Amino acid sequence: MRCPKCKNDVPVTYLFCPYCGYDLRFIIKERLIARLSFRERILRIMMLIRNPFKTIEHIASAPDLMGGFIVALIWGLLLFGKVAVLFLKNGVGLNLTAVAYLIMGAVFFQIVLWLFLSIAIHIAMKIVGGVGVFRDVMSLVGYNQIFIAIAHVVSIVVVSASSPSTVNGVAVFMGTSFLYVPFWLGVAFLVGYGLAYTHMLKKITAILASIISVFVFVFFFYLI
Tell whether 111 and 90 lie within a shared domain. Answer: yes
Tell whether 12 and 50 lie within a shared domain. Answer: no
Specify the number of domains making up the chain. Answer: 2
pLDDT for residue 27: 66
| Each residue's pLDDT tens digit, 57-98 | 888 888 888 999 999 999 888 888 888 887 777 777 778 888
Tell whether 76 and 10 lie within a shared domain. Answer: no
DSSP per-residue letters across 25-58: HHHHHHHHHHT--HHHHHHHHHHHHHSHHHHHHH
b/e code 81-107 from CB counts within 10 Å (16+ = b): bbbbbbbebeeeeeeeeeeeebbeebb
Tell whether 64 and 136 lie within a shared domain. Answer: yes
Q: C-alpha angle with apex 79: 188 to 55, nearest 5 degrees?
A: 35
Tell whether 68 and 106 lie within a shared domain. Answer: yes
Name the pTM for this structure: 0.79
pLDDT above 90 covers a percentage of the chain that reads 34
| Residue 85 CB contacts under 8 Å (≥ 6 apart), including other chains | 156, 159, 160
pLDDT for residue 125: 95
pLDDT for residue 8: 83
Tell whether 19 and 80 lie within a shared domain. Answer: no
Domain of 18, in residue numbers = 1-35
